[in-house]
Copies of this chain bind each other. A is one copy, B any other.
Amino acid sequence: CGAMGDDADTLRILVATDCHLGYLERDTVRGNDSLRSFEEILRLAVDHNVDMLLLGGDLFHDNKPSRKTLYRTMDLLRTYCMGDRPCPIQICSDQSVNFHNRKCVNYEDPNLNIALPVFSIHGNHDDPSGDEQLCALDLLSAAGFVNHFGRTREVDDIEITPVLMQKGNTKVALYGLGSVRDERLHRTFRDKKVTMKAPAESPDQWFNMFVIHQNRVKHGPTNFIPESFLPPMLDLVIWGHEHKCEIEPVHNETGNFFITQPGSSVATALSEGEAVKKHVGLLEIREKSFRLSRLVLKTVRPFAMGEVVLSESGLDTNQHKAIEDLLVSEVNKLIKRAQHEYSERSPDGPAMKPLVRLKVEYSGGFASFNSQRFGQRYLQEVANPKDILLFHRRRAAHKPSEA
């Protein structure tokens, strides 16, 4: 794509997902991580003067966020999303279909001064429940801070009506589908019962963008949504739910569309995927082309992961002290690596204890030991002292693999 300025035909969107607000909120060290990075995202949106912020679900970690989390979230949204910047996006679709709550996008409400409109689908963590099928996003919608879209009541026959957005010559059809149980949605897709209602008027002029919150990685025969299920009319898919940052758009050859997977803004597991450097995307759309620039999240807690295989360490199974020394030395290396990565990414950031995870493969007669006790020595240095070590045995080498 060519250069795209901050001009009248370029729709500029900050794209993020899986903020998991309220995650571990009672943890004295990590309790504020999710909100801190969400605030960074809001600040990035304001600083980059985008036209909107687009979220891919799991804004909240808990289906019923605590009062404190809800309060702080509303406080942040009120602080960053209100103001005098007029929103240049014109909505051409039927808003009463797009936005089930107030039937109107928030920045067109004459009583609210919205500078940064937020659009979000819901994830599996913050999905609707109860007789009125309300979710935490609906509270933010009622307050006027978020435009919750992509809710479907029907799961076996889904028609997705896009939000039609226009800025100058650029026309974007934004399709959203809040989280649905994967097996169920897999079946509905397979049965060709998911329809995306393309705009009737000059359909080929629209940039078609789909926001989805499902397993992208195969977790079982139908426990994911294959990319091949998605219609080729799409131009760009924003994939939420997967926490690993793979924000660089990947081209899907069959469908001839791109997929970007922003990943979470807070690690909710000590896994490889969450250890990847976290970004959000600055998406610029001009007519039918787009550009996505990644913006690193500086406030994310540093996290380093490593592995040691005891049977390859040259130590004997009864050399307990030496084994422990080895693990201490490996953990120290991880701490250094995490701190180094953090100081490069965020040279002016405040000191932050890193997350550290050392996987210990202990097959071959080695004993595991108490990870919690081991972590005592790292109370001042590591954010997760209790679960630094993860002991595991390698799967039997000759076990036949599943079909």
**A contact set with B: CB distance below 8 Å:** 64, 66-68, 70-71, 74-75, 78, 82-84, 101-102, 110-114, 130-132, 134-136, 138-139, 142-145
Contacts and interface: CB of A to CB of B under 8 A. Distances in A.
A112 B83 CA distance: 10
Which interface residue of A111, A113, A114, A134 has the most chain B CB atoms within 10 A?
A: A111
Contacts of A68: 130-132, 134
A25 B74 CA distance: 25
A226 to B, nearest CB: 34
Contacts of A144: 78, 143-144
22 contacts: A64-B67, A66-B130, A67-B130, A68-B130, A68-B132, A70-B139, A71-B132, A71-B142, A74-B142, A74-B143, A75-B101, A75-B142, A78-B111, A78-B143, A83-B111, A111-B112, A111-B114, A112-B112, A142-B143, A143-B144, A143-B145, A144-B144
Contacts of A84: 110
Which interface residue of A74, A102, A142 has the most chain B CB atoms within 10 A?
A: A142
A151 to B, nearest CB: 14
B111 A67 contact: no
Contact of A139 (B71, B83, B101): B71
Nearest to A101: B75
Given A67-B64, A67-B134, A142 B110 contact: no
Given A67-B136, A82-B111, A143-B143, 16 more contacts: A67-B130, A67-B134, A68-B132, A68-B134, A71-B132, A71-B139, A71-B142, A74-B142, A75-B101, A78-B102, A78-B142, A78-B144, A84-B110, A111-B112, A112-B113, A143-B144
Contacts of A67: 64, 130, 134-136, 138-139
A101 B71 CA distance: 10
Nearest to A64: B67
Contacts of A145: 143
A131 B68 CA distance: 9
A66 B138 CA distance: 13
Contacts of A64: 67
B139 A74 contact: yes
A251 to B, nearest CB: 41
A185 B78 CA distance: 35
A110 B113 contact: yes
A327 B177 CA distance: 58
Nearest to A143: B143
Contacts of A130: 66-68
Contact of A111 (B102, B113, B134, B143): B113
A299 B86 CA distance: 41
A134 B82 contact: no
The list of the 8 closest CB pairs from A to B, nearest first, reads A143-B143, A111-B113, A82-B111, A74-B142, A75-B142, A67-B134, A71-B142, A71-B134
Which interface residue of A64, A67, A138, A139 has the most chain B CB atoms within 10 A?
A: A67
Nearest to A142: B74
A114 B110 CA distance: 11
B83 A138 contact: no
A71 B141 CA distance: 9
A8 to B, nearest CB: 25
A74 B131 CA distance: 18
A71 B138 contact: yes
A52 B120 CA distance: 34
Nearest to A144: B78
A111 B145 CA distance: 12
A130 B26 CA distance: 11
Nearest to A115: B111
Contacts of A82: 111-112
A138 B72 CA distance: 10
